[in-house]
Amino acid sequence: MPVTTTVITGATSGIGRETAIALAKKDHSLYLLVRDTAKGEALKHEIILATKNKNIYVVPCDLADLDSVRNAADILKSSLLSINVLINNAGGIFAERQESKNGFEMTFAVNHLGHFLLVQCLLPLLEKGQARIINVSSEAHRMAKPNFNDLQWTKRPYSAWKAYGTAKLFNIYFTRSLAIKYGPKGINAFALHPGLVNTGFGTGLTGIGKLLMALARPFMISAETGAQTTIYLALATRIDAKSGKYFKNREVVSASTAATNQVGRDRLWDLSLGLVEPYLN
């Protein structure tokens, strides 16, 4: 039986970690794209010990640094003939406006643009592997009111939650664009909400954001439970017809009205392609 080659970002904690362990148990050959390679190596050895699956590899990748993303893709292209599953799991929320190494607003960079570049760089391998691309979004996308004239939050007061919600809406836009553009080439794409998961998410928030997270914590689910929809999408058979859809609790659900906006979706694609173009060569 052919080995399934899976690439996952943000695997060293939370639902990414649980996803990686579950897929290793299913004998996937895993490539862990991580910012902290020491944590990545520790997870690698933990997975090997727990699952006896030795096909676990660590690749340095900082999604806030587009040069790092491109270098990670180059490593994968030099090591692999194809990729069967790509899980864009990493993300984050930032209390104050920060800029990435490349000068982009950090929420936009980490949650969207880094993954956008990663996919663009890996397209030949994804096509060869007839891949599934799984984008971890959030119900926070429902609060989004994207301003394409101020993606970097320089012209208006920064809001951590609005920036995060917009980035999660962009995950859904990205998913639908991938399904439409690359479905004919055998690539399928899915977006999902993992649930309100009790991880380190939001620990840097202050003020009302910190209070809201504290109030929500007793109602949060475990990382293992939160990973179940991602795991389902990586393993399920006969779901190609649902490519481009948004999932919650392993089922297709309706995203927000804004998520169906084709003009916004196409504009995001064009803007993103222009921003990453210098890193594609």
> Which is nearest to 251 in space by CA: 190, 167, 189, 169?
190
Query: Tokens at residue 40, please?
Result: 């990545």
Tokens of 41: 């190596």
User: Cβ distance 178 to 123 under 8 Å?
Assistant: no
Q: CA 269, 275, 278, 281: dihedral to nearest 10 degrees?
A: -20
Q: 164 an active-site residue? A: yes
For 40, the enclosing helix (H) or strand (E) is: helix 37-51
Tokens of 203: 């620990």
Cα-atom radius of gyration of the chain, to the nearest Å? 17
Residue of 195, 151, 153, 157 whose CA lies nearest to 173:
151
Cα torsion at 82, 78, 281, 61 (round to 10°)? Answer: 90
What does the block give as tokens for 55? 């096909």
Q: Are strands 56-60 and 246-248 parallel, antiparallel or unpaired?
A: unpaired
Q: Annotated catalytic residue: which of 57, 158, 164, 279?
A: 164
What is the distance of C-alpha 81 from the center of its chain?
A: 22
Query: What CA–CA distance (Å, rounded) separates 116 from 95?
Result: 23
- Active centre residues (catalytic): 164
